[in-house]
Amino acid sequence: MTPRMKLGPLVGDVYRHAGALDGFVEESALPKPLLYLVQLRASQINGCVYCVDVHSADARQAGESDARLHSVAVWRESPFFTEQERAALAYTEAATRLSADDVTDEIWEQAAAHFAEKELAALIVAVATINFWNRLAVSTRMTPPSYKA
């Protein structure tokens, strides 16, 4: 994989504003382990090798188990996730694969049952933000940090 361009220096203000979204998500009431799972799952769906690398490393550094990280791609079949995490992962998949019926009422109600309104708002912003970053990294073929090590 050969990077196509270094986008950051060309659109610095965009990165700064997107960083503010990241800051909001990081400071939100969402549990950090759940946030890492959401970021990892959206990045897997979008095929973003850079973000999969970064968010799996962040999760491991924060104490996440390899078993859970390896199971994110098959979370529906895995016994390792709480009901709240399952609701967040279902919402993440639906909002990442947007189409006419992806964020169904059932998915919305499941998420709303497991998150307070402010937490649900933070989840929506978290999923939108990681999808934004995925699109930048995938289209420019950003090289994952671990690959550089």
Question: Residues 39-70: pLDDT tens digits?
Answer: 999 999 999 999 999 999 999 999 999 999 99
The CATH number of 34-148 is 1.20.1290.10
Domain boundaries in the chain? 34-148
Helix (H) or strand (E) holding 41: helix 32-46
How would you classify residue 65: left for phi > 0, otherwise alpha for psi between -120 and 50, otherwise beta? beta
Q: What is the pTM of this model?
A: 0.92
How confident is the model at residue 147, as a pLDDT? Answer: 63
Name the stretches of the chain with pLDDT < 70. Answer: 147-149
